[in-house]
Homo-oligomer: A and B are copies of this chain.
Amino acid sequence: VTGHRVRVRARYPETDRMGVVHHSHYFVWFEIGRTELLRELGMPYASLEEEHLYMPVIEAGARYRAPVRYDEEVDVETVLQEVTGAQVRFSYRLLRHPGGEPVATGFSLHAAVNEKGRPRRLPQELRERLERLIPPAKERP
């Protein structure tokens, strides 16, 4: 499966004194991955919030395989794993550019809530567009 891809570059303050990007920052890169996926889908996350749809992370995880150093580039590959009436799950792969060496994998699970943090349904149109992105089961990572 090849999901949506966006390239990021490791910034100086994202590194720590071990000389590599801090593990907490990978979750920011994952967020950039799903943000750009939604933008390409024609439904930027900023516009969802304008319609009072928020999608906070309710679970997230990462496995770190290789360090990323200052100024290195990484492709964030985002795959939509599952969408239900009230939840969305993404998975991520970070691949070093150039070369494609896998540097990390991860996932995030999101709830759909309104501006008060109460659960709400995903709009039908968004749900349908997202469902079309889900790879066939046998191809899922």
Contact = CB atoms under 8 A, between A and B. Distances in A.
Interface of A: 11-13, 15-20, 22-25, 27-28, 31-32, 35, 44-46, 54, 56-65, 67, 69-71, 117
Given A17-B18, A17-B69, A67-B117, 12 more contacts: A11-B32, A12-B22, A16-B16, A17-B17, A17-B20, A23-B56, A27-B27, A46-B71, A56-B67, A57-B64, A58-B63, A59-B62
B46 A70 contact: yes
Q: A interface, by DSSP: helix, strand, loop or mixed?
A: mixed
Contacts of A13: 16, 22, 24-25, 28, 31
Most buried by B among A12, A59, A62, A71: A12
B12 A17 contact: yes
B67 A23 contact: no
Nearest to A24: B27
Contacts of A63: 58-59
Which 6 residue pairs spanning A and B have beta carbons closest together? A61-B61, A24-B27, A15-B17, A46-B71, A23-B57, A13-B22
A60 B23 contact: yes
Given A11-B32, A44-B71, A61-B59, A16 B17 contact: yes
